[in-house]
Amino acid sequence: MKNRGIKKGQITIFIIIAILIIAVVVLFFTFKGSLQIPGKPVSPETAEIQNFVQECLDETSELAIFDIAERGGYEDPSKVSSTIVFNTPYYIKNNKNLMPSKEKIQEEISKSLEKQMYSCVNNFALFPEYEITKGKMEIKTTIDSEKVLVEMDYPLTIKKGESSSKLKKFNSEVPIRLGIIYDAVAEFVVENMEVEGLCLDCLVSAFGEKNLKSTATPYGEDTYMIVIEDPLSEINKKKFLYIFANEY
């Protein structure tokens, strides 16, 4: 009698086919998000508006970070209880540590950046041919050791004729060592509170070892304005300065 069962060779073929089917399905879902539908490329209006907003974000991110650093971590130092000339905030006053937290400075950069972004896009006045519906802008800033990361959610619906596109997420990365500078300043403030008067050794140990330049200029009888310069964070030949004051 002939054996009518499935032969081993046939079983092997079925297994191979099943594996191939599973592989195709896995690859499809893996790359599904990156596949583009033929005949539907990114619209010109999307690319034009996206580039415009991105350029604004890159430019204003640098400006906001430089400005906040020169004001001791605040968008408006005049709102801080203790400041001196040029609205420079105290980090040590009445033997108290008044240095803002890193989270506070991140918030101040985001707040300043949001205002500058609205000014930069200028209600998209440069694009009268487009109908642009704008959602709420939300910006998050993260201070890393050698860079500052900016994430912006800005929902935009762009229409021109029958064409309609949407944008939302934008990112910028500014190569400024703000995290290193902040940690060095925090170290200096803590060390300086343990001694009387300006601690010159503390200046050297906190900043010199990190390739930072520091100057302490007397202001009045008991105050020094301290300027930290980072040659490694210079952008377009503009010096990056971090400025604050201490009372002794």
Beta strand ranges found along 94-147 (DSSP E): 96-97, 131-134, 138-143
DSSP 81: S
How many residues are present in the chain? 248
Is residue 48 in some structural domain?
A: yes
Residue matched to tokens 């400041």: 83
29: left (phi over 0), alpha (psi -120 to 50) or beta: alpha
**Domain region containing 61:** 44-72+102-174
Is residue 209 in some structural domain?
A: no
Is residue 95 in some structural domain?
A: no
Is residue 210 in some structural domain?
A: no
- Cα–chain-centroid distance for residue 142? 5
DSSP 54: H
The pTM score is: 0.79
pLDDT of residue 229: 97
Q: What is the bridge-based pairing of β-strands 131-134 and 83-84?
A: unpaired
Is residue 140 in some structural domain?
A: yes
Is residue 195 in some structural domain?
A: no
Task: Provide the residue-wise pLDDT of the chain in tens; the chain has 248 residues.
Answer: 444 455 555 566 666 676 777 766 655 555 443 333 343 445 766 899 999 999 999 999 999 999 999 999 999 988 876 777 678 999 999 889 999 999 999 999 999 999 999 999 999 999 999 999 999 999 999 999 999 999 999 999 999 888 889 999 999 999 999 999 999 999 999 988 888 888 888 888 889 989 999 999 998 888 999 999 999 999 989 999 999 999 98
Is residue 216 in some structural domain?
A: no
Exposure string for 174-196, b = 16+ CB within 10 A, e = fewer: bebbbbbbbbbbbebbeebbeee
Is residue 56 in some structural domain?
A: yes
Per-residue pLDDT tens digits for 63-85: 999 999 999 999 998 887 677 76
How many structural domains are present in the chain? 1
pLDDT of residue 182: 98
